Amino acid sequence: MNARAILFAVASAVTTVLLAGAATIELLSAVYGESPGVGMLGLVVGLVVGVSVGAGVAVTAGRFSGISLAALVAYATFGVAFLAIAGLRYVNAPGADALFTFPVHLAVSLLLALAFAVLTARGLVRGVRPSV
């Protein structure tokens, strides 16, 4: 296991925590309504699934190549970009709240993920090499 595998594992875990937690909260809110317990359960589910995915990626990151590597880079980039933009909004960076409405926030995160995936597939991201 090298630094690249650990970086992919952490970034993939972040993405999974966000997605699994949000999905759990939405599903439980539809059944039980809005309550603090639903949010806490969503967070716990997200953390458990995220740690599991991160461990799996850490063990298998060296085996990814080509399109699967580009997909892993896209998945990992999405969560990190989404969290970074949320951080900008949280610290009240000037203009961030007005610029990054939720649809824009989501679109920018997806576009960054797509851009890094394309760059990885073409071999243009330093330190991440597609298979030969």
Residue 73 near residue 125, CB atoms below 8 Å? yes
pLDDT of residue 3: 83
Q: Is 79 exposed, middle or buried (0-12, 13-18, 19+ CB in 10 A)?
A: buried
CA atoms within 13 A on the CB side of 98: 3
Structural domain that includes position 86: 64-126
34 and 14 inside one domain: yes
Residue 13 lies in a domain: yes
Q: Give me the number of domains the chain comprises.
A: 2
| 132, part of any domain | no
Cα dist from 42 to 2, 73, 78, 82, 88, whole Å: 31, 25, 20, 18, 23
| Tokens standing for residue 101 | 């409405």
Q: Are residues 55 and 81 in the same domain?
A: no
pLDDT by residue (tens digit) across 6-40? 999 999 999 999 999 999 999 999 988 888 889 89
pLDDT digits (tens, 9 = 90+) for 45-100: 999 999 999 999 999 988 888 888 889 999 999 999 999 999 998 998 888 888 88
- Residue owning tokens 């595998």: 5
Residue 131 inside a domain? The answer is no
> Where a domain ends, among 41, 63, 85?
63
Dump the DSSP string for 86-117: HHHHHTT-TTHHHH--HHHHHHHHHHHHHHHH
Report the phi/psi class of residue 64: left, alpha or beta, with left for phi > 0 and alpha for psi in -120 to 50.
Answer: beta
Higher pLDDT, 91 or 122: 91
| Residue 13, pLDDT score | 95
Q: Do residue 30 and residue 86 come from a single domain?
A: no
Tell me whether residue 44 is in a domain: yes
User: Do 25 and 81 belong together in one domain?
Assistant: no
Q: pLDDT category, 110, cuts 50, 70, 90? A: very high
